[in-house]
Amino acid sequence: MVFTKRLREGVRRGFITCSVRIWKRPHVKVGGRYRMDDGEILIDSIELISLQDITYDLAIESGFESRADLLTVARHGSGDNVYLIRFHYILPIAKPPLNSSKTRSTNSWQS
C-alpha cells in the first residue's frame, strides 16, 4: 500500500490505522504485509463500503482534514468500489551492531 508523504509519519507512529481506497478490485489482502519505508503495513481487514459511509470522523481517522480531502486523494484511479482497509504498522526489527573489532586478551595466564 502506498501512502502520500504527508500521511506516512502518522502511519509509522500508529495514529493512522485505516485507509479508504477506491479501486476496481482489492489491491491488498487480509494478512498481507506491504513495505513502507523501513517497516511494513500488515492488513487487518478489508470492507467494501459506500461513499455515504465515508464520514468526517472516518476521514480524520484516516489522516485527512476533511471528507472532501480524503475523497480528492482516494478518487485518483478509475475504480468505483470503495474499500475501508484497517491495518497496523510493524516497526523494523533492530539488528544488533556488528562488532568490527573483537578485543579479547590473549595473555590470560593462570597461576
Contact 8, 37 (CB under 8 A): yes
Residue 102 reports pLDDT greater than 70: no
Q: What confidence score (pLDDT) does residue 111 get?
A: 44
Q: Where are the alpha helices (DSSP H) in the chain?
A: 5-13, 56-61, 67-74
- Confidence label for 94 from pLDDT (cuts 50, 70 and 90): low
Note down the domain range covering 60: 5-90
Quick check: is 37 in a domain?
A: yes
Quick check: is 108 in a domain?
A: no
Q: What CATH number does residue 73 fall under?
A: 3.10.400.10
Quick check: is 61 in a domain?
A: yes
Q: What confidence score (pLDDT) does residue 100 get?
A: 55
- For 87-105, what is the mean pLDDT? 71
Quick check: is 95 in a domain?
A: no
- Confidence label for 1 from pLDDT (cuts 50, 70 and 90): confident
Quick check: is 102 in a domain?
A: no
Quick check: is 99 in a domain?
A: no
Q: pLDDT by residue (tens digit) across 26-69? A: 999 999 999 998 899 999 999 999 999 999 999 999 999 999 99
How many distinct structural domains can be found in the chain?
1
pTM over 0.85: no
pLDDT averaged over every residue in the chain = 87
Quick check: is 98 in a domain?
A: no
